[in-house]
């Protein structure tokens, strides 16, 4: 069936994992079924396979006429349930929106349904990519690489309870694979196959809170209309609050225009710098008082949150590299109690070309590891600007800044540090990161990297506040 001995060993072990977990005679749905071999191996009473490859489905129908196969993209899933088991083998690597797929699968599940998911260990990403380039493995679309923590987080967000999380196949070689099975429990982090079993739980009720979407701006005139038109209504009502940092490209005028064009939307504008004060007078006041003029995103965020009317506070960067259409996912996670601080994560899905330079990506991953250790919470992307929490927790979060001082010009880290110090559960919300279409990035790689290292140092000195004994 598989000419490549590595593929033979891999798929043989995969079959055994699913066979051990799915008794014969069940109603089984397989997503990404290919030619149907795995589904048939499980001997279901009702077997339904779905794959977007029409050629593979035609072969599956010829191979196993007693089973039902559909040519469908899993994102457009249209089959009749419910099922006793839903299986996904190496599927999630190519799914556009995993959380959306999981939400659809819930409608095909009962409380007794078992989801069985196998995926390749992200530790071996480099070797697997090399195998694809050498033609030893079929090239996967999208290539989402999920760690064990990523998978458990996604299942948690989808109201699924994980019953089992294990791994298998240390050596993807026919002779050595049997030896590897003996020591698999000892080599958990190194095994090639990550395997999860989960079942649905009753979703909690969703609170209906008013929402403030804070949009800090500086020279973002070309993005204002898109922001207004694309930010959805959420909860019991949504306020769009622009905080402008003395833009010179007509941003403020564009915001005022949107306020006139969309009177039914609750749109407000506040100024980071007092607009009635001449610049020379402002400079003189700063020199006289010894205080810097208000500037930077962190200051804009603080001003905006103090003025916000909503109970749910959201940051939506004006560059729209995080799609405003994703904000309801953040709201639902907060409003159903999945976490107390919902942090955007851009590092699970592949990014749009040009969205982030490679050096920035490496920096993001490094600082993720560093801040995860500091915070005592797994945070895959510390630098994503989209963060969501309740206004009633804001004072608790900012109490950390009052203890350790003003150390963060971005505003992202004082919120993360403050949320950890306040004992809030921090969870990641995976989103896709897109390239900026208007304006220039505000990040200066060298200068801001130095600041980030300084913040790591400040974080180390602040460990007693970040990990208090009673948390």
DSSP 327-382: HHHHHHHHHTTS-SEEEEE-SSSPPPTTSS-HHHHHHHHHHHHHHHHHHTS--S-T
Residue 61 located in a structural domain? yes
> How confident is the model at residue 41, as a pLDDT?
95
> How confident is the model at residue 407, as a pLDDT?
61
Domain boundary among 200, 223, 241: 200
Same structural domain for residues 195 and 215?
A: no
Contact yes or no for 372/419 (Cβ under 8 A): no
Phi and psi based region of residue 268 (left: phi greater than 0; alpha: psi -120 to 50; beta: remaining)? beta
Residue 57 located in a structural domain? yes
Domain count, the chain: 2
Same structural domain for residues 162 and 222?
A: no
What's the CA gap between 54 and 57, in Å, rounded?
5
> How confident is the model at residue 418, as a pLDDT?
86
Domain boundary among 133, 166, 200: 200
Is pLDDT at 436 greater than 50 in this prediction?
yes
Contact yes or no for 303/212 (Cβ under 8 A): no
**Token pair recorded at residue 150:** 């990523």
Same structural domain for residues 256 and 293?
A: yes
Contact yes or no for 247/272 (Cβ under 8 A): no
Question: The CATH number of the domain where 233 resides is what?
Answer: 3.90.550.10
Coil, helix or strand for 396?
A: helix
Contact yes or no for 408/312 (Cβ under 8 A): no
Residue 206 located in a structural domain? no
* Average pLDDT of every residue of the chain: 82
Average pLDDT over residues 168-176: 60
Is pLDDT at 388 greater than 90 in this prediction?
yes
Same structural domain for residues 363 and 443?
A: yes
User: Around Cβ 267, how many Cβ atoms within 10 Å?
Assistant: 23
What's the CA gap between 352 and 384, in Å, rounded?
15
Is pLDDT at 471 greater than 50 in this prediction?
no
Same structural domain for residues 230 and 137?
A: no
Band of pLDDT at residue 357, cut at 50, 70 and 90: low
Residues forming a β-bridge with 81: none
Same structural domain for residues 174 and 230?
A: no
> How confident is the model at residue 295, as a pLDDT?
66
Coil, helix or strand for 461?
A: helix
State the DSSP string of 32-49: S-TTSHHHHHT--SEEEE
For residues 277 and 385, which has the higher predicted lDDT (pLDDT)?
385
Q: Which of 118-127, 204-213, 366-375 has the lowest mean pLDDT?
A: 366-375
Same structural domain for residues 174 and 220?
A: no
For residues 170 and 81, which has the higher predicted lDDT (pLDDT)?
81
Band of pLDDT at residue 453, cut at 50, 70 and 90: low
For residues 68 and 295, which has the higher predicted lDDT (pLDDT)?
68
Q: Which of 136-150, 152-166, 358-372, 386-400 has the lowest mean pLDDT?
A: 358-372
Task: Quote the percentage of the chain above a pLDDT of 90.
Answer: 50
Look-up of token digits 């200051």 = 299
Average pLDDT over residues 242-256: 93
Q: Which of 73-82, 182-191, 247-256 has the lowest mean pLDDT?
A: 182-191
- pLDDT tens readout for residues 59-99: 999 999 999 999 999 988 999 989 999 999 989 988 989 99
State the DSSP string of 168-221: E-S--SHHHHHHHHHHGGGGGGG-SEEEEEEEE-PPPPPP---EEEEEEESS-G
Residue 123 belongs to domain spanning: 5-200
What's the CA gap between 299 and 291, in Å, rounded?
13
> How confident is the model at residue 173, as a pLDDT?
58
What's the CA gap between 214 and 302, in Å, rounded?
10
Q: Is the dihedral of CA 306, 312, 313, 318 positive or negative?
A: negative
Is pLDDT at 197 greater than 80 in this prediction?
yes
For residues 7 and 451, which has the higher predicted lDDT (pLDDT)?
7
Residue 116 located in a structural domain? yes
Band of pLDDT at residue 145, cut at 50, 70 and 90: confident
Band of pLDDT at residue 469, cut at 50, 70 and 90: very low
Same structural domain for residues 325 and 444?
A: yes
Coil, helix or strand for 450?
A: helix
Residue 471 located in a structural domain? no
For residues 444 and 33, which has the higher predicted lDDT (pLDDT)?
33
Residue 376 located in a structural domain? yes
Q: Which of 284-293, 334-343, 460-469 has the lowest mean pLDDT?
A: 284-293
What's the CA gap between 229 and 265, in Å, rounded?
10
Is pLDDT at 100 greater than 80 in this prediction?
yes
Listed ranges 138-152, 259-273, 445-459; the one with the highest mean pLDDT: 259-273
Q: Which of 99-113, 124-138, 197-211, 217-231 has the lowest mean pLDDT?
A: 124-138
Same structural domain for residues 281 and 425?
A: yes
| R_g over Cα of the chain | 25
- pLDDT tens readout for residues 404-435: 666 666 677 788 888 888 889 999 999 988 87
Same structural domain for residues 406 and 450?
A: yes
Query: CA angle, 364 as apex, 363 and 367 as ends, to 5°?
Result: 85
Q: Is the dihedral of CA 254, 304, 431, 447 positive or negative?
A: positive
The kind and range of the H/E element at 6 are helix 5-21
Q: Which of 4-13, 112-121, 378-387 has the lowest mean pLDDT?
A: 4-13
Same structural domain for residues 305 and 452?
A: yes
Band of pLDDT at residue 292, cut at 50, 70 and 90: very low
Domain boundary among 200, 235, 250: 200
Band of pLDDT at residue 224, cut at 50, 70 and 90: very high
Residue 269 located in a structural domain? yes
Same structural domain for residues 116 and 233?
A: no
What's the CA gap between 274 and 257, in Å, rounded?
20
Question: The CATH number of the domain where 108 resides is what?
Answer: 3.40.50.150
Task: Quote the percentage of the chain above a pLDDT of 70.
Answer: 72
Residue 294 located in a structural domain? yes
């Amino acid at each position: 069936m598989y000419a490549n001995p590595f593929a033979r060993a891999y798929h043989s072990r995969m079959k055994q994992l699913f066979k051990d977990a799915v008794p014969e005679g069940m109603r089984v749905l397989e997503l990404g079924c290919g030619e149907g071999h795995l589904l048939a191996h499980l001997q279901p009473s009702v077997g339904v396979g779905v794959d977007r490859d029409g050629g593979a489905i035609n072969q599956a129908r010829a191979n196993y006429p007693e089973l039902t196969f559909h040519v469908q993209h899993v994102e457009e899933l249209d089959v009749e349930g419910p099922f006793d088991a839903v299986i996904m083998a190496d599927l999630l690597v190519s799914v556009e929106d995993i959380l959306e797929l999981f939400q659809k699968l819930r409608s095909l599940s009962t409380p007794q349904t078992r989801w069985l998911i196998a995926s390749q260990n992200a530790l071996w990403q480099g070797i697997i990519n090399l195998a694809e380039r050498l033609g030893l493995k079929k090239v996967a679309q999208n290539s989402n690489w999920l760690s064990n923590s990523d998978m458990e987080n996604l299942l948690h967000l989808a109201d699924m309870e994980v019953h089992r999380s294990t791994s298998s196949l240390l050596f993807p070689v026919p002779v050595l694979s049997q030896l590897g099975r003996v020591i698999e429990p000892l080599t958990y982090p190194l095994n090639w196959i990550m395997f999860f079993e989960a079942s649905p739980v009753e979703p909690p009720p969703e609170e209906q809170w008013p929402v403030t979407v804070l949009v800090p701006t500086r020279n973002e005139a070309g993005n204002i209309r898109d922001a207004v038109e694309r930010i959805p209504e959420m909860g019991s009502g949504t306020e769009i609050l622009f905080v402008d940092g003395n833009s010179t490209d007509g941003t403020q005028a564009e915001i005022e225009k949107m306020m006139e064009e969309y009177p039914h939307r609750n749109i407000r504008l506040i100024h980071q710098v007092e607009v009635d004060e001449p610049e020379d007078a402002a400079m003189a006041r700063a020199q006289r008082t010894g205080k810097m003029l208000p500037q930077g995103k962190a200051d804009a965020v603080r001003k905006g949150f103090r003025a916000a009317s909503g109970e749910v506070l959201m940051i939506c960067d004006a560059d729209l590299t995080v799609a405003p259409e994703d904000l309801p996912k953040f709201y639902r996670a907060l409003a159903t109690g999945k976490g107390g601080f919902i942090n955007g994560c851009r590092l699970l899905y592949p990014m749009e070309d040009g969205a982030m330079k490679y050096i920035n990506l490496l920096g993001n991953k490094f600082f993720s590891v560093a801040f995860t250790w500091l915070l005592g919470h797994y945070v895959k992307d510390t630098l994503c600007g989209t963060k969501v929490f309740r206004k009633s927790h804001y004072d608790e979060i900012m109490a950390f800044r009052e203890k350790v001082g003003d150390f963060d010009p971005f505003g992202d880290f004082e919120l993360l540090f403050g949320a950890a110090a306040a004992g809030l559960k921090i969870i990641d919300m995976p989103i896709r990161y897109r390239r900026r279409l208007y304006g220039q990035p505000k990040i200066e790689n060298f200068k801001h990297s130095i600041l980030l290292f300084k913040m790591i140092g400040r974080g180390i000195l602040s460990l007693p506040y970040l990990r208090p004994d009673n948390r």
